[in-house]
Structure 1
Amino acid sequence: MLGISVFILLIALTLSLVQASPVFFEQTILKSPSKRPRYENGELPPFRDTVGWVDPRLNGGRQLDYTDDRIGEPLNVIISSLSDPYILTETGLHMYAKSIGFSEECLGMHYGHIHEANLGDGLGRKQEQFLARQDYVPVIGTCWESVRGGHHFRAWKQNGTLADSGAWFLGASKEKDSSKNHKITEDGYNLGRDFIVDRATAGTRWRGMWWKADVEWKEGLLQRGTRDVNHNIAQDGRVAILTVNRL
């Protein structure tokens, strides 16, 4: 009898809480990240209710790219397809990259390993579509980055038949100079991501076009730490979702 009484009391308290503050109940009990079930390795399950991009894990992809058959680098920035339509084109992404301080590789020549990524869009592992390097000065700025080191990012578009979101997935990082074989700096993945986010949200322009981005942070797409991460460099597991609007 005592057990039944306690159970009835708990139900009464819960109902009174919902009636008194339904917003508190919805946000704290139903939507709390701590309430989302986790896999045994600590990862959160795939997101199924995103708008402007699709969680690659839903269709066998992942939020790390591939530098070999196992390890890779974090895809730590997503440009949502809710962004300015021009930026969602390849030409538009190149223009936008210039506005935030990047440009094409030095003299159009590729340096370093070509990465692949599986965005869960049905196209399997595909090679990077764009590699942008920090542009220090006009004309030869990215050549200086190749020597001195700095920020760079790789980009893939999610546009297969299983997930045709049109979003860009970027792998951003900061690397050391050529004497260090362009190895990623300590905390380089987080630094590379934050460099892009800071510039994008501050507002940028290029050749008469102005943009400003809103950012939403997502946890659960990447597992925090060094597991399967290239160079064994830890990252914080956060992914920046950018919606870039033209001003």
Structure 2
Amino acid sequence: MKILVAIKRVIDPGVKVRLKPDGSGAELNGVKMAVNPFCEIAVEQAVQLKEAGIASEVITLAIGDKASQEQLRTTLALGADRAIHLDVEQTLEPLNIAKLLRMVVERETPEIVLLGKQSIDGDNNQTGQMLAGLLGWSQATFASKVEVKERGVEVTRELDTGLQTLSLKLPAVITTDLRLNTPRFASLPNIMKAKQKPLESESVDLSALNIKTHTELLSMQPPAVRQAGVKVGSVDELVSKLTNEAGIF
């Protein structure tokens, strides 16, 4: 069984995000970047399936500029067998990313495609669902447990009301949630070995794939600064403020 894992390069979760002065986006110069945390979980799940003898090959894929190869090397150090980089300079919408992923999926023919449920920058939570729709494949989102069976894959999903278990036919697209696993750390020997693993980079002709822009980013701004609280001397004063100033009662 071949597994394809799509990853994204994002600002490291431990870094405080700063916006550009013109509000056109986040400042990336000199900022530490990392594999999107949900994508790390997807990579870990694929590697675990390979270690269990279920998967024969794990391929990771990133779409972005050449800097994305750094994160692909990280996935190779975590246990992926090879990596594919689609060299795209511009920022793409989820639908366009799904179209590029479909192109690779049709070429590589994996049985399972794993993605993080969302990226921590855009928070769109759309790419996996759109990819499954374009391919006409089974899909399961927010996976907290994945078990490959003889005739398919069983996925437990986390919902607001509890857990839901789905039985999917292969091939399938699965997006991963936080409780699925805890990603491992790359050891120094594996980091060195990753340098020898194949990483294929290819340019993409976006015009040939019917790539169109459907949304426009007008501006970005930081959240409003939280106002300082006030102390009250009695319950009556608290009720008065909640009623007259906050309008709660």
Q: Do they fold alike, i.e. is TM over 0.5?
A: no
Query: Which one has more relative contact order, counting CA pairs under 8 Å at least 6 apart?
Result: 2
Q: Which has the higher strand share?
A: 2
TM-score relative to the length of structure 1: 0.24
TM-score relative to the length of structure 2: 0.24
